[in-house]
Amino acid sequence: MQRLRLYVDANYASPYAMSVFVVLRERALDFDIVTLDLGAGAHHSAEFARLSLTHRVPTLIDGTFALSESSAITEYLDERYPGPGLYPQDMQAKARARQLQAWLRSDLVPIREERPTFVIFYGPSSEPLSATAIAAAERLFGAIDALLPVGAENLFGSWSIVDTDVALMLNRLVMNGDAVPQRLADYARKQWQRPTVQLWAKMNRPPRQ
């Protein structure tokens, strides 16, 4: 069988590439990583355009099939390759998990702009959060606080890839020293210690340009 191939950003800073990487490691799948210099526009090259419909990372190549958009990739891997569930088994919990993934990718823009993942992988920002970012953070805290059972390590009982995605969003703030409710900060730090997450965290990154 041909090895899977995963295209990611050269800085290993994309939260979406990280999500797919963690899933591949959780499933113990053999795959090769190909990095693209997004700053130089490598994702818009004609060669990559032939592989990725959206010209985005991550893009997964499985034989002759190419797929981009991280949540689509993680759902595909969950169904394509047998192993422990990457999503909750209960139908409604799974729907909630997918809702969270979509929300993290489409909303909370002020957090993503003012606390890009570079603050996690390269060092914190000294700029204070704007009022709009603080408001977005409060919405994030309210949603996760309502979903995370008291005393639980995971959102839906067993670990799911959504725990990794949520923890990364929280860690944009936690690791930057911004105010985060203690139990949510503890949850985010605990999730960050997962071995497959640490493999990504410890990638050899080039200096930030």
Task: Report the alpha-carbon distance of residue 132 to residue 106 in Å, rounded.
Answer: 16
Average pLDDT over residues 40-62: 84
Please give the pLDDT value at position 50. 84
Structural domains of the chain in order of their starting residue, each with its CATH number: 4-84 (3.40.30.10), 91-194 (1.20.1050.10)
Q: Which residue has the higher pLDDT, 43 or 103?
A: 103
Instruction: Give the list of residues 6+ apart from residue 153 with CB closer than 8 angstroms, or none.
Output: 159, 187, 190, 191
Please give the pLDDT value at position 209. 64
* Token couple for 200: 């990504």
- pLDDT at 41 > cutoff 90: no
Adjacency order of strands within the sheet including 31-36? 31-36, 4-9, 59-62, 65-68
Q: What is the pLDDT of residues 81-119, one digit of tens each?
A: 989 889 999 999 999 999 999 999 999 999 999 999 999
Average pLDDT over residues 189-197: 98
Instruction: Give the list of residues 6+ apart from residue 190 with CB closer than 8 angstroms, or none.
Output: 153
Residue 157: DSSP 8-state: S
- pLDDT at 1 > cutoff 70: no
Calculate what percentage of the chain has a pLDDT beyond 90.
87
Least Cα distance to 33 among 206, 203, 194 occurs for 203
Cα-Cα-Cα-Cα torsion 11, 162, 173, 121, nearest 10 degrees, comes to -20
Average pLDDT over residues 37-60: 83
Q: How far is CA 53 from the centre of its chain?
A: 20
- pLDDT at 163 > cutoff 70: yes
